[in-house]
Chains A and B, each alone.
Chain A
Amino acid sequence: GENVEQHPSTLSVQEGDSAVIKCTYSDSASNYFPWYKQELGKGPQLIIDIRSNVGEKKDQRIAVTLNKTAKHFSLHITETQPEDSAVYFCAATNALTTDSWGKLQFGAGTQVVVTP
């Protein structure tokens, strides 16, 4: 099955700097890669996702890049703000087969702390 590794486990950045979180996956058939943000005491919130037919996707200060050859994908947050402080999870799945659909394999998470 799919295995997703996420690095780093913790990330401290100064407000205004950029943050980058990297994930690698093992199953070359995976084709959907979402990122979730989880604030303390809340459920994970989908912030951006990318499908395997796209190399990069941006949404304001957030971007995700995908390298299918190397089997890794990254989350980039620019101009970080204190409200970006949270735990971020990457995930992967093959969304087009009934055996694996819905079975998101999550990374272990990255605690991001943005200091003013």
Chain B
Amino acid sequence: VQLVESGGALVQPGGSLRLSCAASGFAFNTYVMTWVRQAPGKGLEWVSAISANGVNTYYAGAVKGRFTISRDNSKDTVYLQMSRLRVEDSALYYCSKNTAHEDWGRGTLVTVSS
């Protein structure tokens, strides 16, 4: 199993960013995929999840209405579209496989700062 996140960057407050997570080594289209973030020096915070077929999506209260999770099963990739970014969204964003978060990528860093 390999999960490779990308798309992290420095962005101004109020800006937008799209993260990607490319998966390999397993039947991607049969698993829930999730995003979890970790602010510098802080703990883990679940962000969002999407069902295997992409129909059902779930969000933490802190990001609901600003972030959108999606997936492309033809590309074995899950995305996190982030808009109206805030300073407090600055974190290392991990994607993980399944509701048990049994595999994790190495993360992509998002910094929201003016």
The answer to whether A and B come from one shared complex is: no
Interface of B toward A, CB cutoff 8 Å: none
The residues of A with any CB-CB pair to B shorter than 8 Å are none
